[in-house]
Amino acid sequence: MRLLIIEDHPDILANIVDYLEAAGHTVDCAYNGPGGLHLALTGHHDLIVLDIMLPGMDGFQVCRSLRDSGNHTPIIMLTARDTLDDRLQGLRLGADDYLVKPFALAELEARIEAVQRRARGASPRLQVADLALDLDTLRVTRGGQVLRLNPACLKLLEILMRKSPGVVRREALEAAMWGDDPPASDSLRSHLHLLRLAVDRPFPRPLLHTVHGVGYRLAEEDRED
């Protein structure tokens, strides 16, 4: 997805951008209300993450201006003020969801995906060949057979399925899994080994492929020469 983040706190903004880019999204940024409104009106974005407390004009004003202009890009509002009035005001102005600081980056990503699914009326399901992942129940099947995956393998599988048939770089997988604090041991390789055992070992055609020196891809055929 192409996302617009409007947030005036530089550290929070940097953390959000790093996390979402590592997950494969394209991210545009604005540090104040007028700049964010300009980017939202002149660019094309799949979703906007909008802080309420902004210089120039606050998030409520930005949201109102976008909706009054006919811009219906989904909006998730961020705030440090966890009051019912604030939440109701944002939703009444046209925001699609609301997240209170501090929040886990994984929760923000999950809410972005959920809002996008609702906006598109999309099924919460990813599929590559005969491998399927239900994003609501986290049920994984291949050829109708239920696969049992631990949480780390589930996260890796989701990232690879969303990017399929593209390649996900090793460093992007590590950042998505552990942020700026990856474990000292080669945990990524271990989790990918477990994922390959579950997804490929019982089946005649492999789907998980190593692109040597680059990363990994999930696809029906290995197109690497």
- Same domain for 87 and 12? yes
Within 10 angstroms of residue 56's Cβ, the number of other Cβ atoms is 15
CA trace torsion 28, 111, 105, 173 (10° rounding)? -80
- Same domain for 133 and 211? yes
Position 225 scores a pLDDT of: 36
Any domain includes 141: yes
- Same domain for 129 and 190? yes
pTM recorded for the entire structure = 0.56
CA trace torsion 216, 159, 123, 43 (10° rounding)? -110
Model confidence band, residue 82 (pLDDT cutoffs 50, 70, 90): low
Distance CA 92, CA 85 (A): 10
Domain that holds residue 183: 125-218
- Same domain for 114 and 13? yes
Q: Which of 99, 30, 101, 118 is nearest to 66 (CA)?
A: 30
Any domain includes 9: yes
Mean pLDDT of the chain, nearest integer: 86
